[in-house]
Structure 1
Amino acid sequence: MPSSPTFDIELTLLLEAVYQRYQHDFRHYARSSLARRLRQAMEDFGCRSLSHLQERLLHEPEVFARLLGYFTVQVSEMFRDPPYFRALREQVLPVLKTYPSVKIWVAGCSSGEEVWSLAILLAEEDMLDRAVLYATDINPDALHAAETGIYPLDRVAQYSQSYRDAGGKRSLSDYYTAGEHGVIFDRALRRGMVFADHSLATDSVFSEVHLVSCRNVLIYFDRELQQRALGLFLDALTRRGFLGLGNRETLRFSGYETRFSEFCAEERIYQKS
């Protein structure tokens, strides 16, 4: 459904209200995607307009907590895009193995499937004991889900196939046990993980890292916010560190293409120059 001028005004005011009231900045998220998800939120919350939704979120903090799920796209799966993980295993990790310790930042980790996938990959390459994985997101519910490492049983078949396609050396079932609420991944994989609230829109770099993996996040930002995020990644990376993006994302025409070289162009893996 196309936006009306009134809807566009209401959307601008709602995003400003969220920023002023809760210090979450969605003002530079891609408008078309936000508008689509907030229309769904209006329907789910029984609000006749965005102004009505804004009134509720300003006066009912619990509404905003629930609304975060509409602002952020929580779509993830283990070993998503297997060739990306195979490229990490075969091309990036051999370089990172030369360091005494390794720090990895998964920005916009959602419910954590990528973090647990990376932990398995590191374990199989005998690197987990000297690795720290920073998993960040702005959605506290997503972070909690990521930290538990519990995922629905009906998704495991697809996870297992992607793991094999990514060059997995064992069976994925070696890394989890079946529980009442799904499969629970081995706590030993968890020891190097650090979960934290972090906004690419408002927060600063918090650590120097050797690899940033931020996949399928920038597509939800406008150009200004994409530039800010890429600047954070550049500042966070060590000399010759690696940046992994989603298969619909690129550094071309970003202004940062000269600061990186294409390390594995097909899989959108770049190396800091």
Structure 2
Amino acid sequence: MHADPIEDVEVALLLEGVRQVYGHDFRQYAPASLKRRLRLWLAGSGCATFSRAQERLLREPALFASLLQGITVHVTDMFRDPPFFLALRRQVLPFLRTYPFVKIWLAGCASGEEVYALAILLHEAGMRGRYRLYATDLSEQVLHQAREGIYPLRQLQAFTRNYQHSGGTAQFADYYTARYDHAIVMSALKENLVFAQHNLVTDTDIGEMHMVICRNVMIYFQAALKERCLALFDGCLQPGGFLCLGMKEGLDGRAIAPRYDALAPRLRIYRKRYV
């Protein structure tokens, strides 16, 4: 598809309007993927052009909610990338268990599958009641779904398989209750969770952490925004803390890289140096 200079101007004006009215800044998202998602959103918005959409968008919060849902990416599974969770079991949790209390930030939690997978790992490591897991996302709509912890029963076969491949040995069915065509996460897994809206583009960090997990979020950001996010994570991580990124989001060439050792380089698990 050829570039449309008029469309480029329309998109720039729309994003600036969104920033000024709603406080969400998408201008540093990777342009190609952002424009692709914006076009998909526009097709379902009932507006012929981005200019028409902007006029409604700035006056209709409900339309903005649909834009937010369209721009942000929420593809996730429980125990997605099982080798990553296996490495957490074997190489990270033994360190975290030595602390009397642990604080973890999972940024970009989407609809919560990764949150509950991590809660299961912590539960099986004997850390129940000894951690606080802060799960954040830009979209309040997906945060509501994450808080509910209700997932289609048809997904449970894949979740169970991922759990087993990540080193799980319990009965995965013990962690949820089946009701009609949905599975409800057991309430014990929700005890130490805090769900909150957070914007990685504009907000500050959320306090001192022992581990920060942000996987498959920054691949949609431009380089400057990636550096900002990494600096944000670095600023809240204690010395000896763990930083976990997506498979395509390593620290090579990044400003904070000299302060980290690669604990599992292929899985993008890093540990912050003490000095």
TM range (shorter): over 0.9
Give the distance between the partners of 1:223 and 1:127, measured in 2 at CA.
37
Q: Which letter does structure 2 place at the counterpart of 1:218? A: M
Identity of aligned residues (%): 50
Q: 1:22 maps to what in 2?
A: 22
Aligned positions of 1:1-273 closer than 5 A: 1-180=1-180, 182-273=182-273
Give the distance between the partners of 1:17 and 1:253, measured in 2 at CA.
34
Give the distance between the partners of 1:181 and 1:226, measured in 2 at CA.
39
Q: Which letter does structure 2 place at the counterpart of 1:141? A: Q
Secondary structure at the residue paired with 2:129?
Answer: helix
Secondary structure at the residue paired with 1:255?
Answer: coil
- When normalised by structure 1's length, the TM-score is 0.98
Give the distance between the partners of 1:272 and 1:97, measured in 2 at CA.
17
Give the distance between the partners of 1:18 and 1:231, measured in 2 at CA.
25
Q: For each residue in 1:128-162, what CA deviation from the matched residue of structure 2 results, as whole angstroms up to 9, or x when unmatched?
A: 21011000011001100001110111111101000
Q: For each residue in 1:184-223, what CA deviation from the matched residue of structure 2 results, as whole angstroms up to 9, or x when unmatched?
A: 0001110000000111111111211111010000101111
Give the distance between the partners of 2:66 and 2:33, measured in 1 at CA.
18
Cα deviation for residue 2 of structure 1 reads: 3.9
CA RMSD of aligned residues (A): 1.0
Give the distance between the partners of 1:207 and 1:181, measured in 2 at CA.
39
Structure 1 runs of 4+ with >6 Å offset = none
Q: Which runs of 5+ in 2 are unaligned?
A: none
Q: For each residue in 1:238-263, what CA deviation from the matched residue of structure 2 results, as whole angstroms up to 9, or x when unmatched?
A: 11100000111111112221121111
Give the distance between the partners of 1:182 and 1:18, measured in 2 at CA.
36
Give the distance between the partners of 1:53 and 1:128, measured in 2 at CA.
48
Cα deviation for residue 181 of structure 1 reads: 5.2
Cα deviation for residue 3 of structure 1 reads: 3.1
Q: Which letter does structure 2 place at the counterpart of 1:88? A: L
| Conserved 8 A contact 1:14-1:54 | yes
Q: Which letter does structure 2 place at the counterpart of 1:158? A: A
Q: Which letter does structure 2 place at the counterpart of 1:215? A: R
Q: Which letter does structure 2 place at the counterpart of 1:105? A: W
Give the distance between the partners of 1:19 and 1:2, measured in 2 at CA.
27
| Conserved 8 A contact 2:154-2:181 | no
Q: For each residue in 1:14-64, what CA deviation from the matched residue of structure 2 results, as whole angstroms up to 9, or x when unmatched?
A: 111100010111111111111001101111112211111111111111100
| Conserved 8 A contact 2:74-2:110 | yes
Q: Which letter does structure 1 place at the counterpart of 2:197? A: D
Q: Which runs of 5+ in 1 are unaligned?
A: none
Give the distance between the partners of 2:40 and 2:205, measured in 1 at CA.
33
Give the distance between the partners of 1:27 and 1:79, measured in 2 at CA.
31
Give the distance between the partners of 1:118 and 1:2, measured in 2 at CA.
43
